[in-house]
Structure 1
Amino acid sequence: MIQYPFLEKGMTVGVTAPSSGVPSELQGLLHSAFKRMEEKGYSIQSGETPWTQDKAKSAPAKKRAEEFNAMMLDDDVDLIIPPWGGELLAETLEYIDFNRIQNKWILGYSDISLLLLAITLNTGIATAHGTNLVDLRGDYSDETTAMWESVLSTKKGDSVLQHSSEKYQQEWDFENPTPHIFNLSEDTYWKTTTNDDVNVQGRLLGGCVDTIRHLIGTPYGDVKQFKDQHIPGDPVIWFFENCELSTPDLRRTLVQMKLAGWFDDCQAIMFGRSAANTPVTNYTVEDIYQELADELQIPIIYDIDCGHLPPQITLVNGAYAEIDVRDGEGRVLQTFKS
């Protein structure tokens, strides 16, 4: 059984940095994000970690975990949105109190997805892979990003529909910010290994492949136990996005996931757009997708709205989803099925 938090206007957002904090020269971004959230009717409660950054992390692992644990148990904090991702969230896992996780939304991506997936796998509480806080600082959000509120305010048993974006951002142009933050310049086109239409259903699980791969073989990454305990009989649809891995490293990671049983009862795998998929000799990411499709005999969908080339669809770990891809356009219907 999956538990789903519920978002309402007027709730208090807890801001903590279990991975990276915001260095002093960029803290204006965080202030702007706070202002926009308050204008939208939310209250902000910030911890200390968002305001510090040293040695590739906001604070020592125990301090980061303690602040997260405290916000999770604080009745005045209704949901948690870190400022952004980072590098070393893995250090905090052994100090996170998984036995006392409350039914609160956590929203984020990149390194934050390691925490999201670990929480869902270990508790059966849904978590939300999507925008981070600093990217909500614009005058308004593009239609794809803005759906985070609609998704998180979906009631248990109800469904929410999202569509692929019209355009995405290939690279940051900090000198020319737009009112919605992103410079959406490239046409979005969802692809499949067969070039055919795809329609699949299953429970969503996933995140940034660079980080969630480090759950394999740990007490926090027992996918089989999660499936048996929380979603018995339901297949899985995995979603991944690659931040920095070369093609051989991505391939090694996917092989390890397969050998660890992560892809058992898998209906499809989706991959977000990535600037990282650098070929080695003539070994391309498309080769990897085709190899995976051949080995697992399932559809592989790629260049979806997920990850470090925004905008992003909000994908909920644990939700039951129907994924439909036709003529380069994607449709994601998520049902908050227990």
Structure 2
Amino acid sequence: MIRYPYLEEGATIGVTAPSSGVGVELHDLIDLSCSRMKAKGYDVIVGETVWTQRKAKSAPARLRAGEFNEMMSNDRIGLIIPPWGGELLIEVLEFLEFERFKPKWILGYSDISVLLLAITLRTGIATAHGTNLIDLRGEFSDNTTAKWQSVLSMKAGESVIQHSSDKYQKEWQHSNPSPCVFHLTERTDWKVISNAAVTMQGRLLCGCIDVIRHLIGTPYGDVRHFQEQLISNEPIVWVLENCELSTADLRRSLVQMRLAGWFDNCAGILFGRSGANRPVDDYTVEDVYEDLYEEVRIPIVYDIDCGHVPPQITFVNGAYVEIEAREGKGIVKQTFNP
């Protein structure tokens, strides 16, 4: 059974850094992001880990876990948003108090997807794969990014529909700030391996392949338990994205996931746009997707709105999802079924 948090109007947002914190030279980004949240009517509590960064992490693992556990037990806080991702979130998992967690929204992506996936798989608490706090510092958000509030404000049993973006950002332009943070210049085009319209339905699971693959074989990546004990053997729809992997490493990772049973009883796989996917010996990312399709024979859609090439749709781990991809466009309907 999936348990869904509910974001109340005027809720308190907890900002903590279970992966990377923010160096002194970028503290103004946190201040600006928090002021934007306050302008929307939220209260904000910022943890100490947010303000520090050393040796690829905000703080030692026990400190990061302790601050996160404290925010999860703080009844004032209705939503936790890390500042951004990072590298070493996996270090904190063994110190998290999963059995004490109550339903509370956690929103983020990249390395944060390790935390999101582990919590949903172990506890059945829905988590939200989407924007991070730093990317909400703009004067306004594009329509795709802004949907996070509508999604997290749904109640159990309700549905929300999101559409593929019109345009996406090809590259970051930090020297040319935008009022909505992103520079959306390229036409979005969801692609399907079969070149035909596809639909899929099932329970949603999301993550950055670079990091969630390391949950395989651990107590935090038991997809079979999740499927059998928490969603009554309903099919899974995977939404995955690649941050830094070459095509060969991506292929190895997907084979490992398949051999570990992560794609058993799977209704479809969607891949986000990526600035990585470096070909190896003429082996392209399209070749990777074709090879995976030959093995699993389920719909595969790629270049969708997810991950490190913004904007991105807010996907909820554990939600019942119905997805349609047709003529370069996508429709995502999520229903908060228990």
When the two structures are superposed, what TM-score results if normalisation uses the length of structure 2? 0.99
Structure 2 Cα separation of the partners of residues 245 and 318 of structure 1: 26
Structure 1 residues 222-237: aligned runs within 5 Å: 222-237=222-237
* In 2: Cα distance, 1:229 partner to 1:276 partner: 36
Instruction: Provide the residue aligned with 1:155 in structure 2.
Output: 155
Contact 2:204 2:238 in 1 (8 A): yes
Contact 2:8 2:78 in 1 (8 A): no
Per-residue CA deviation, residues 121-176 of structure 1 (Å, 9 max, x unaligned), is: 00000000000001001000000000000000111001000000000011100111
Q: Distance in 1 between matches of 2:329 and 2:123?
A: 33
| Percentage of pairs with the same residue | 65
Structure 1 partner of 2:17? 17
Q: Which residue of 2 aligns with 1:293?
A: 293
SS class of match (1:22): coil
SS at match of 2:262: coil
Check if 1:52 corresponds to 2:65: no
Within 2, Cα distance between the matches of 1:170 and 1:232?
40
CA positional deviation for 1:177: 1.3
Q: Which position in structure 2 is the counterpart of 1:121?
A: 121
Structure 2 residues not aligned, in runs of 5+: none
1:36 and 2:32 are equivalent in the alignment: no
1: CA distance, partners of 2:79 / 2:264: 32
CA–CA distance in 2 between the matches of 1:273 and 1:36? 27
Distance 1:109 1:320 in 2: 20
Task: Give the corresponding residue for 1:164.
Answer: 164
Residue matched to 1:195: 195
Report the Cα distance in structure 2 between the residues aligned to 1:292 and 1:154, rounded to whole angstroms. 34
1:78 partner SS:
strand
Corresponding letter in the other structure for 1:335: T
Q: What residue number does 2:139 align with?
A: 139
AA matched with 2:301: I
- Tell me, in whole angstroms, the C-alpha distance in 2 between the residues paired with 1:169 and 1:29: 20
Secondary structure of 1:271's partner?
Answer: strand
Specify the alignment match of 2:211 in structure 1: 211
Cα distance in 1, alignment partners of residues 246 and 147 from structure 2 = 31
Question: In the aligned structure 1, how far is the partner of 2:233 from the partner of 2:98?
Answer: 25
Q: What is the SS of the residue equivalent to 1:289?
A: helix
Instruction: Render the CA deviation track for 1:29-51: whole Å, top value 9, x for unaligned.
Output: 11000000000000000110000
Quick one: distance in 2 between partners of 1:200 and 1:330? 12
CA distance in 2, matches of 1:243, 1:81: 20
Residue 109, structure 1, aligned to residue 109, structure 2: yes
Q: Is the 8 A contact 2:168 2:185 kept in 1?
A: yes
CA distance in 2, matches of 1:142, 1:43: 23
Q: Which stretches of structure 1, 4 residues or more, deviate above 3 A after TM superposition?
A: none
Q: Does the residue aligned with 1:116 lie in a helix, a strand or coil? A: helix
Q: Say whether the 8 Å CA contact 2:12–2:44 is kept in structure 1.
A: yes
How many residues align? The count is 338
Residue 334 of structure 1 corresponds to: 334
Give the equivalent residue in structure 2 for 1:84.
84
Q: Distance in 1 between matches of 2:323 and 2:297?
A: 17
1:78 Cα deviation from its structure 2 partner: 1.3
Unpaired stretches in structure 1, ≥5 consecutive residues: none
TM-superposed deviation, 1:206: 1.7
SS for the counterpart of 1:262 is coil
The residue that corresponds to 2:64 in the other structure is 64
- Counterpart position of 1:275: 275
Offset of residue 233 of structure 1: 2.8
Q: Deviations over 1:230-271 (max 9, x none)?
A: 101310000100000111111111011001000000010000
